[in-house]
Amino acid sequence: MSDADDTVADAGFDDWLDAAEDGAAYYLECPEDHTSLPPRRVCPDCGSTDLEELALPDTGEVRTFTVTHVPTPAFEEDAPYATAVVDFGPVSLTGQVVGIDVGDVETGLTVELEISVSETTGERVIGLRPA
């Protein structure tokens, strides 16, 4: 990876992680009440460009999860790790479940957002910690 890759942020994604680290994670809502995440310019449901940022609920519930034993190189030292799709109400998010033994993760578990880091690369990761 070049220096440029290491230093140039991904607008939208990194901004959102910054906000989440400040306890200000958000999702988007259009006038038709369609909700979405990630940050975007256009409502994927109706095409509205009038999108309002609203605070993401503090906790969500695990809809499904997996424990990955064969990772990509970016998570080589993290494996085995649990990844979950979490329902926060208006939107769902995919993240890594942290702060719990991977064997104890279960569907329905209540979690809160906590930006974590990959043990392999030190890059920030969307983390989900039992609430």
Partner 1 sequence: MSDVRVAGTGLTPFGNSPERTSRDLFAEASIAAFEDSGVPREDVEGVLYGNFMGELSEHQGHQGPLMAEAAGVQAPATRYESACASSGAAVREAVKRIRTGEDDVLLVGGAERMTNLGTAGATEALAIAADDLWEVRAGVTFPGAYALMARAYFDEFGGEHEDLAHIAVKNHENALSNEKAQYQSAIEVSDALEAPPVSEPLGLYDACPISDGASALVLTSESYAEEHDLEAPVAITGTGQGGDRMALHDREYLARSPAAREAGDEAYADAGVSAGDVDLAEVHDCFTIAEVLALEALDLEPIGEGITAARDGRTTADGETPINLSGGLKAKGHPVGATGASQIAEVTDLLAGDHPNSDHVADATTGVAHNAGGTVASATVHVLEVLE
Contacting positions for partner 1 (CB under 8 A): 10, 12-13, 36-38, 44, 63-76, 78, 81, 83-86, 92-96, 107, 118, 123, 125-126
As a whole number of angstroms, the distance between CA 53 and CA 43 comes to 12
Measured from the CB of residue 130, what is the shortest distance to partner 1 in angstroms?
17
Beta partners for residue 95, in sequence order: 84
DSSP letter assigned to residue 74: G
- The amino acid at residue 18 is D
Give the end-to-end CA distance of the chain in Å, rounded to a whole number.
36
As a whole number of angstroms, the distance between CA 84 and CA 20 comes to 18
Helix (H) or strand (E) holding 127: strand 124-130
Measured from the CB of residue 82, what is the shortest distance to partner 1 in angstroms?
9
Record the tokens describing residue 91, joined without a space.
């939107």
Record the tokens describing residue 61, joined without a space.
């519930």
Which one, 56 or 86, has the nearer CB to partner 1?
Answer: 86
